[in-house]
Structure 1
Amino acid sequence: MFSDKDGDPGSPLNDTRLPSLMALRCFEAAARRENFSQAAAELHLTHGAVSRAVRLLEDELGVALFERRSRRVFLTDSGRILARAVAGGLDLIRQAVEEIRLRAGQDRPLVLSCEPTLLMRWLIPRWPDFQAQHPEIEMHLIAGGGEFSFAKGIDLAIRRNDFPWPESYHAETLFTEKVGPVCRPDRLEWFEIKEGSTSLKPDAPQLHTRTRPDAWQEWAVAAGYPVRQALGQGFEHFYFSLQAAVAGLGVAIGPWHLVRDDVQSGVLVAPQGFVEDGSQYCLLSPAPLSSDGAGSKLLAWLRSMS
């Protein structure tokens, strides 16, 4: 006698095979972005490769996962069911990989990517303190700004939230950005200083940077000053504009954490103080940090330094 759980091993009713992981990754990226081209760019594949992977997945399952309209794609009901499951499964995999990497840091140095100017002017000067507190953690610091991928060997990243990152990334806020005009103490003649108020003179030389071209306008809005277009010397990176201010070439917009050491040592002054500009710096990881892992220790230290 056969029980109900017994049956023909070759029967379709007993087919528990899963689709290929690559097909599921292509589908998940396309479902999250609702755009095959963006999914292809994220996965470093061609549009055709992603489209074929999704089509093969649909053929294997026997259902349509997307409605295709012109250049946009939209999830069907079946697509939404699968998207939730695949996203949850990939998140579990990312969490496991992150925990393994952060727990087994002795196998290779953990890679922390940090925006270049923040790395040079704030993080590196304080890094010996982290090493003294956590000699068991080996971490490699690299400079990098803007978009990045954890698939390229980065374990953790510090970024300002001025660009969209994938929803799957886990973000922990480190500190709020505060900015203000800074110059050398012997260049205060560029400011109109009266009792109870300080303002930048119209002919004061302003320093600009390509990486944050709207810094002056954003500061004016945050501080409640009129927004005015002003010509001035431009530099490729924020670091150079701050060094130019130290050299006495003009007035730069200085984020507090990038100029704090210079202000406290008297190398620079901020006659109008600092105001929050609405942005934040975050520590990004591929999954939530384990409570006793290297990532959590780094997070606690970073917050203590801010």
Structure 2
Amino acid sequence: MDPALPSLRALQVFEVAARLGSFTKAAGELRVTQTAVSHQIKQLEEELEAPLFRRMGRGLSLTPAGQAWFAELTRVFGQLRETNRKLRSRPRERPLVSLTTLPSFAARWLVPRLGLFLARHPEVDLRISTSEAVVDFTLEPVDVGIRFGTGPYRGLFSEKLFEDVFITVASPELAQRLHRPRDLAQSPLLKDDHEGAWPRWFQAQGLGSPATARYHQLLDSGLLVEAAVRGQGVALARWSLVRDELTAGRLRRVFPKLPALPVGHAYHLVGLRETFRRREIAAFRSWLRGEIRELGREMPSAK
């Protein structure tokens, strides 16, 4: 019986770390933490029952087993990348735009608007996948991504779409009971994975965080919005994710005269440079720019 194949992801991480000679540099290329790289390497060494690296101070060198695996993987991944380019460059009966983005942005902003793109381009098909994982565009069947971060995205073409802002929102019933920032001490405060957002917001108002504040954390920003809609607390939410809920009246902005708070991150459209030469990708990019311009005209000003 053939031995079980090791994790493909772990093999990919090993190939990058061996090629760059550094876990830190591998983490940068893969857009993950150094801890995640170390974990994948440890998992692979356990699966293979052999050490792959020698750790020498801050440096790395390959063991004989590591050298053997690296030589084979260089050839295998090189062939896989070439096969991916070759097969994906073949003409399809219908052009396809394959996009990956964050679940919250897809559900709360992108998908509600995609009907406009499809109506304008009935000849184009769409495939949307949602993930926070970093995509290797040379290996995976994805054309472009919309990412939320600080950049830069090394090795990729990247276009900054817009910088988002935080605003305070609540259900209409809860919002009408809140008249000044100090009133927030009596309400649950909803936060996502931006740990420092609420302290920054209170600081911008010249206040300290209320000692009696109750924080409920929802790491998915889309769930944060849903919790606010259902009256579970006051959310410090990104404008792009709550804009439609505000328009529909399911949420109300709390303290609308106060300036918005910069998030410190921006949305970027990323992908391989050659991908953006395709007609259907250019059409999607043009449509996306138009929608972003409309969003920008309505965005609250930040302090």
* Matching of residue 70 in structure 1 with residue 57 in structure 2: yes
What is the alpha-carbon distance in structure 1 between the residues aligned to residue 118 and residue 283 of structure 2? 11
* Matching of residue 281 in structure 1 with residue 267 in structure 2: yes
How high is the TM-score relative to the length of structure 2? 0.64
Equivalent position of 1:160 in the other structure = 148
What is the alpha-carbon distance in structure 1 between the residues aligned to residue 89 and residue 96 of structure 2? 9
Of 175-184 and 263-272, deviating more is 263-272
- Are the aligned partners of 1:106 and 1:138 in contact in 2 as well (CA < 8 Å)? no
- In the TM superposition, what is the alpha-carbon distance from 1:153 to its structure 2 partner? 2.4
- In the TM superposition, what is the alpha-carbon distance from 1:168 to its structure 2 partner? 1.1
Equivalent position of 1:264 in the other structure = 247
- In the TM superposition, what is the alpha-carbon distance from 1:224 to its structure 2 partner? 5.0
Change in Cα spacing, 1:173 to 1:185, as seen in structure 2 (3 Å) is same
Deviations 1:180-202 (A, max 9, x none): 11011222244234xxxx66532
- Are the aligned partners of 1:183 and 1:252 in contact in 2 as well (CA < 8 Å)? yes
* Matching of residue 141 in structure 1 with residue 122 in structure 2: no
Equivalent position of 2:172 in the other structure = 185
Alignment of 1:1-306 (within 5 A): 28-30=19-21, 34=25, 41=37, 70-72=57-59, 97=85, 101=88, 104=91, 106=93, 109-150=96-137, 151-161=139-149, 167-193=154-180, 200-209=183-192, 211-220=193-202, 223=204, 225-228=206-209, 230-273=213-256, 274-287=260-273, 289-291=275-277, 293-306=279-292
- In the TM superposition, what is the alpha-carbon distance from 1:53 to its structure 2 partner? 11
- Are the aligned partners of 2:99 and 2:129 in contact in 1 as well (CA < 8 Å)? yes
Change in Cα spacing, 1:281 to 1:218, as seen in structure 2 (3 Å) is farther
Change in Cα spacing, 1:203 to 1:143, as seen in structure 2 (3 Å) is same
- In the TM superposition, what is the alpha-carbon distance from 1:263 to its structure 2 partner? 0.9
2:287 partner amino acid: W
What is the alpha-carbon distance in structure 2 between the residues aligned to residue 212 and residue 305 of structure 1? 26
- Are the aligned partners of 1:219 and 1:277 in contact in 2 as well (CA < 8 Å)? no
- Are the aligned partners of 1:218 and 1:277 in contact in 2 as well (CA < 8 Å)? no
Structure 2, gaps ≥5 residues long: 1-13, 28-32, 62-77, 293-303
- In the TM superposition, what is the alpha-carbon distance from 1:170 to its structure 2 partner? 2.2
- Are the aligned partners of 1:102 and 1:295 in contact in 2 as well (CA < 8 Å)? no
Give the % identical residues.
22
- Are the aligned partners of 2:23 and 2:37 in contact in 1 as well (CA < 8 Å)? no
Helix, strand or coil for the counterpart of 1:191?
A: coil
How many matched pairs? Answer: 245
Helix, strand or coil for the counterpart of 1:228?
A: coil
Equivalent position of 2:69 in the other structure = none
1:302 partner amino acid: L
Structure 1, gaps ≥5 residues long: 1-22, 55-67, 75-89
- Are the aligned partners of 2:163 and 2:266 in contact in 1 as well (CA < 8 Å)? yes
**Higher Rg of the two aligned structures:** 1
Q: Cα RMSD between the aligned structures?
A: 4.2
Helix, strand or coil for the counterpart of 2:263?
A: strand
Change in Cα spacing, 1:225 to 1:266, as seen in structure 2 (3 Å) is farther
Deviations 1:38-63 (A, max 9, x none): 6x959x875799xx999xxxxxxxxx
What is the alpha-carbon distance in structure 2 between the residues aligned to residue 105 and residue 272 of structure 1? 52
- In the TM superposition, what is the alpha-carbon distance from 1:26 to its structure 2 partner? 6.8
What is the alpha-carbon distance in structure 1 between the residues aligned to residue 290 and residue 230 of structure 2? 31
What is the alpha-carbon distance in structure 1 between the residues aligned to residue 190 and residue 93 of structure 2? 44
What is the alpha-carbon distance in structure 1 between the residues aligned to residue 254 and residue 237 of structure 2? 12
Equivalent position of 1:86 in the other structure = none
2:209 partner amino acid: R
Deviations 1:104-132 (A, max 9, x none): 46477442111001111111110011111
Helix, strand or coil for the counterpart of 2:276?
A: coil
- Are the aligned partners of 2:164 and 2:238 in contact in 1 as well (CA < 8 Å)? yes
Helix, strand or coil for the counterpart of 1:260?
A: helix
